[in-house]
Structure formats: structure tokens, C-alpha cells
Amino acid sequence: MNLRHLRCFITVAEELHFGRAAERLHIEQSPLSRAIKKLESDVGARLFERTSRGVQLTWAGKVFVEDARRILLVIEQAKGNVRAAAAGFRGRLRIALSDGIAQARLTALLALCREEEPDIEIRLFEMPLSQQLKGLKNDLYDAGFTLFDGLKADVVAQPVWQDPIVVTIPPRHPLLAHKRVALREVLNYPLVLCNPETCAGCDQQLERLLRSIDSQPQVAERVSTTDLMLTLVAAGYGVGFSNAAYAASCRHPEVVVRPLADRSLAVTTFLLRSNATPSEQLSRFIERVVRIGSRPATLAS
């Protein structure tokens, strides 16, 4: 087994098509097929079913693809550790990010870490929440940030930041008549909301908010990023929600931000880590996160 075979396997597993996988890898199909056969021989199991309808992962293949991704990630992390050591860093923290964490908070945190402990390298990884949880369990990440709070007992979820919810509104919209917008008024118009598959925490908190009003929301579109939400709002697809800190750092020239009338409505960011005793450098990192969270959020006007 070698890394090239693993990369070939993962690409075929993602494409479920040898032709497309070969194009992605910039090789011919014949050496790709030989690499897969050699890998199947090495692991002692068939990884793909080849039928007239196409290519599918076997159950063994589905199990192995998670391990293969983890092996490649560990290799990349090892390379990064060597480069960091050569550059003078004496330690490192691997931090996972899910749900579009507010840029202003993250910028302030990273700047504080560089100021107080410059010899610790901090590496950031963006991913869906499900991948973050697997990585925390398998020691691929030291900690992570998410907006999701319904977690299992083997993960510690510590609330660290709270940011007021704001409404993002297209120009010349009736809601602009209000300096502060009542949530019930917002639900009279189509909404651009989070995609629950890629932004589980954001979707969870917004759905909880919307259920507090006895009205069925009109969902115009579901998106995976705040940038796309702002683009669709600017184009008039509907109105959206964001938190004040993120909205302040991602201003769009064609989007107006208004605070909600209920000042208590906010989104909570959670710091995730395994339930093992944190290292000294992770403990110091968590202490800085708490300090950043104690600062007031930037309120949109």
C-alpha cells in the first residue's frame, strides 16, 4: 500500500466513475485500474462493485474510505509539523471551523495568540460539523468552533461567544422602514436560510428562532455560505439572517443590515474539544477564547 494508491482510491470513491477519476488525477484509466486492484490485493477485500449501472463502493470500501482520508490528513499534518518546526515554532494547535464562525472574533483571537504565544503555530481547518466531530474523536484536531449544541457526551461543548442576530435586507425593501425589525415582520417575506447539511449549527439555531413565531416561513433558497446569502439578498431573492459580528466584517454594498427588535435574540458559538484533560497550550488557548468572547459584539446599525 502506498499514498498514491490511497489518493487513487479516494478519487474513485468520490467520483464513482473511473473516467472522471482518471481525469482528476491526470492519468490514464489503465494505471488507475491497476492501482485500485493492487490496493484491493493489499487490504484483502474488494473495494468497488463494477456493474453495468456504474461503480459503487462495497461495504468494505465505505469503511476504508474514512480510514484512507484520515491517513492522508495525518500525513499532511506531519509535513506541516516539520515545516512549522523548521520555521521556529515550538508547538501547534489544530483548530477546526464549522458553520461560518464570525471573522472579527476569529481575527481578534488569532492576533491575541500571536501576541502572547508566538512560538505556537495555529492551523485552521474548515469543514462540515460531522467531519469536525470525527476529527476530534480521532485526535486529528485539538479543538473546534461550531454553532451546534446537540452533541454527544464524549465531546465538551463550551459556549464562548454570543452575537446579536441581525436581518440582511435588499435595497428599497419595505422592512427598511424600521430601524429595528420585529421577527414577525421578517416572516412576511421570503427567506434565504442556511443549508442544514453544510451549516448544521447555524440551521439549528435559526430554526429554533423561527419556531418561536407561530407562522410558517417562506424559504426562497438554502445556501452554504454567508457570502452567497448576501449575494441572493442583494439580488432580491429574499431577506436573510446573520450575526452582528459577521455582518460587520462582510459588508455588501447592496445589502442593508438591521438589528432585530428583540435585543435578546442571539446566536451562540461553542468551543468543542474531547473530554480528555486539555494540554497546557490548549488550556491557554481556551482562556484567550473566553477573553475574546467577553468583548462586546460589533452591533450593526
Is the pTM here over 0.85, yes or no?
A: no
Q: How far apart are CA 168 and CA 247, in angstroms?
A: 8
Which pLDDT score, from 0 to 100, does residue 104 have?
79
- How many of the other CB atoms lie within 10 Å of CB of 8? 25
pLDDT for 300 equals 33
Identify whether the C-beta of residue 243 lies closer than 8 Å to the C-beta of residue 102.
yes
- Per-position pLDDT tens, the chain of length 301: 789 999 999 999 999 999 999 999 999 999 999 999 999 999 999 999 987 778 999 999 999 998 898 888 888 878 877 876 676 565 789 999 988 776 778 889 999 999 998 888 899 998 888 889 888 988 889 999 998 876 766 888 999 988 888 999 998 899 999 999 999 999 999 999 988 888 888 888 888 888 888 878 899 999 988 888 889 999 999 999 988 877 766 678 889 999 999 888 888 899 999 888 888 889 999 999 999 988 765 533 3
Q: Cell digits for 72?
A: 492522508
pLDDT of residue 11: 94
What does each C-alpha distance from 47 to 13, 14, 72, 256 come to in angstroms?
9, 13, 18, 52
Instruction: Report the pLDDT value the prediction gives residue 252, as an integer from 0 to 100.
Output: 80
Res 297: pLDDT: 58
267 near 202, Cβ under 8 Å?
Answer: yes
